[in-house]
Amino acid sequence: MRILPLLTVIGACALGAACSSQQGYATGQAWQQNECNKIIDTPDRERCLARARQSYDTYQRQVDDLKKNGRAD
């Protein structure tokens, strides 16, 4: 049931609602942060949250770099 809100947003995007890749990224990041908050061990939770708080711009630069280097399909 926890995945239902995420699936709802994805479904709305798939049905033609205006949904940018940045909006989809933000939705996924919010879901990931919620999952990180369930981790009991503080250092593990903080590492998880640091990854989940990565900005869309940083994410996009990494994707672009991977594409340039031929490492992304």
pLDDT tens digits for range 15-32: 555 568 889 899 999 999
Looking at residues 3-19, what average pLDDT do you find?
Answer: 58
Least confident of 21-35, 42-56, 58-72: 58-72
Looking at residues 6-15, what average pLDDT do you find?
Answer: 58
Q: Are 3 and 11 in contact (CB under 8 A)?
A: no
Buried b or exposed e, range 54-64, using 16+ CB within 10 angstroms: eeeeeeeeeee
Looking at residues 37-49, what average pLDDT do you find?
Answer: 96
